[in-house]
Structure formats: C-alpha cells, structure tokens
Amino acid sequence: MAKVKYALISPTFKRPEEVTEFLSSLESLDYSKEEFQIILGDGTPNDELRPLLQSFYKTLPLQIYYEEFLPVSDARNRAAELADAEYFIFLDSDCIIPSGYLKGIDTFLSEHSDTTLFGGPDAASADFTNLQKAINFSMTSFLTTGGIRGGQSSVTSYQPRGFNMGMSSTLFKQVGGYDQDFVCGEDVELSLRLQKAGATSRFIAEAHVFHKRRATLKQFRRQVFRFGAARPLLAKAHPGNLKITHLFPTIFTLYRYTTMLLFVFSLACGNVFFALPYLAYIGYLTAVFSEAWRGENFEVARLVIRTTTTMNEGYGMGFLRNYIEVYLKGNSRGIKL
C-alpha cells in the first residue's frame, strides 16, 4: 500500500459492540479513503473479535494485527509497524469519531506546519447515558481537573493522551514507539519522550472525539486508580514532570475524610468552628454541581457529585499507594496494575 497521510491506530481487546461502533463511525469520515488507513492491534483471546469485523474490510481501508493477549502498548506498536503514513493517530476503541475529524486536523496542520505532536479533546455525545456524561464532565472540567487533560495551546506543556493522539510517524519511529514496560500512563510517557526529542506539541480543539469511557462507577474508579498509580512512575522516569495539579486528588481525598471527622467532632462537642472546613468542601461540590447543571440536566449534575468524588478518591489513592511503593519502599516497578 502506498504511503497515505494518516494511519488511525487502535488497540482492541474483546468488546465487539464497542469496536463495531468505533469502526462504523470511521465509515462516515468526510475524507478520501485513499488518504488514510485503519489498523487495529487485537489481543482478544481465541481470536473471537476479528471474525465479527469482516464486513468492514469491504467499506474501510482496514488491517488487523492479531496476537492473543496482546498488551495495550504492544498492540499499538505492532499495529504501527504495519502502517505506512505521514502521521500516526492513536485512538481508543471506546471513542466515536466525528465525520469532520480528519478535515479538522488537515486544516490545523496546514496552518501550523511545524506541528509534530498533537491531540484533541474528548466530549460526551448527546446520546450518551447520564453517567457517561457525568464522567466526561468530571474528567474534563476546569473545576475538577484544572484543565490538565487538554485545552492548552502551549508547545511545551501539552501532553496528548492515547485516546486521541497524533504524531509524525518519523518521530514515533525515532523514539522507538511506546515503552512496553509501562502498563499504564504509557501515552503520557510517550508524549514526554517525543517532546524531549524535539516535538512541537499542539492542542487541536476541532479534533474532538466522543469518548464513552467506563460504563459503571466501579469500572471508572478502577481506571482512575491506575491513572493515579502511573503518575509516580512517570515522575521517576521523567524528573521534573510532577506538577501540583497531579497532587490535587490526593489532597482532595485526605481533606474530605479529615474534615468529615472534624464535622462529626463539631456535632459532638457543639463547637461550630470544627465544622467550617467541611462546609468549604460542600461549597466546592456545590460549585461543581452548579457548573454541571448549566450545561447538562439535573440528573447529570447530581451524578457529577459522585463521579467527581470517585475520580479524586480513585486517582488520589492510586497515586498515594504507588508513591509510597516507589519512593519510600524503593520498588522501581511500583504496585501491580
């Protein structure tokens, strides 16, 4: 196959309905199918996924690399080896890709031709469940994540995430692709290495995807726990990368439980002074609720309280546990993720 402009690469593992929806959205891309290719790195046990995707070979420039139980970073690297494109764009299979996605990237790159690393935001589609919309708000709002997941135009600080992350294929090969020793946070780790190698990184607001994320609060907590646990490993591998915003979930969680105890103590001793810190916590959640309600319905805003506390507690405890494991116990590999 002759070199095309974009290779859209995604790791897959089971979840046939999710992958089918992902590929169906790519059928609607407003872009010449001669100018992009789609490559999946699949690790589904017993090769159960590939037979269900056969119809897409007729409508999409699709290739699938298969190896049973293929880890995420390995899947991306193996798929990239099959790609022949100017840019590699890594996407997650729980994303729905809007029809104008590639045209938006085209327009941006034509105006910023020095860009060699880029990413875009994730959003909630109108047909997502209330819980999915609440999770999306908690993960993207400035009030809840401080804008750490995107929105920056800086060429030095923006670190694209693997759900929506593009780069020069030449630069990807130059740095050796994803570090397969990173089982979580591998996308941020790659962004950091690419920037050290001279990548000019930019945020493309028009290149958004609809990101479904996890279906239950338990799954969501497990996901953000792994994100938090990955951060000390990233800080160890790339000194100076740890920012104050990375500490917020741990501080939030410790503050939450400490002030709850103080509130109970204030009720027992009749001293309102000890209740004030907990009231400040309630005030913060009220602000989050109000901001969510401005853009969503009441049920989503109500759920945002739970998803925000779940996100901060999961990430915060993951960070704290692995920080102790890596920095205090001296285990360079950290806890098992």
pLDDT over 70 at 100, yes or no:
yes
What confidence score (pLDDT) does residue 73 get?
95
CA 234 to chain centre: 15
pLDDT over 70 at 193, yes or no:
yes
What confidence score (pLDDT) does residue 79 get?
98
d(CA 138, CA 38): 30
Query: Which letter does DSSP use for residue 326 in this model?
Result: I
Of 215 and 47, the one with more pLDDT: 47
Q: Write the DSSP assignment of 179-203 as a string of letters.
A: -TT-SSSHHHHHHHHHHHTT--EEE
pLDDT over 60 at 1, yes or no:
no
Strand ranges across the sheet with 117-119:
62-66, 36-42, 4-12, 85-91, 164-168, 117-119, 201-203
In contact, 47 and 59? CB cutoff 8 Å: no
Mean pLDDT of 212-231: 91
Name the 3-class secondary structure at 33.
coil
Kindly indicate the confidence band of residue 157, based on its pLDDT and cuts at 50, 70 and 90: low
Q: How high is the mean pLDDT of the chain?
A: 92
Full-model pTM: 0.90
Mean pLDDT of 92-98: 95
CB-neighbour burial class of residue 117 (10 A; exposed 0-12, middle 13-18, buried 19+): buried
pLDDT over 90 at 151, yes or no:
no
What confidence score (pLDDT) does residue 212 get?
85
In contact, 151 and 121? CB cutoff 8 Å: yes
Kindly indicate the confidence band of residue 195, based on its pLDDT and cuts at 50, 70 and 90: very high
What confidence score (pLDDT) does residue 155 get?
46
Kindly indicate the confidence band of residue 30, based on its pLDDT and cuts at 50, 70 and 90: very high
Detail the DSSP E strand segments found in the chain. 4-12, 36-42, 62-66, 85-91, 95-96, 117-119, 122-123, 164-168, 201-203, 209-211
What confidence score (pLDDT) does residue 150 get?
46
Q: Lowest-pLDDT range, 7-16, 32-41, 95-104, 156-165?
A: 156-165
Q: Where are the domains of the chain?
A: 4-120+160-213, 244-328
Mean pLDDT of 127-143: 91
What confidence score (pLDDT) does residue 153 get?
46
Specify the amino acid at residue 4. Answer: V
What confidence score (pLDDT) does residue 148 get?
52
Specify the amino acid at residue 286. Answer: T
pLDDT digits (tens, 9 = 90+) for 232-290: 999 999 998 888 888 999 999 999 999 999 999 998 998 888 899 999 999 999 999 99
What confidence score (pLDDT) does residue 270 get?
85
CATH placement of domain 4-120+160-213: 3.90.550.10
Kindly indicate the confidence band of residue 154, based on its pLDDT and cuts at 50, 70 and 90: very low
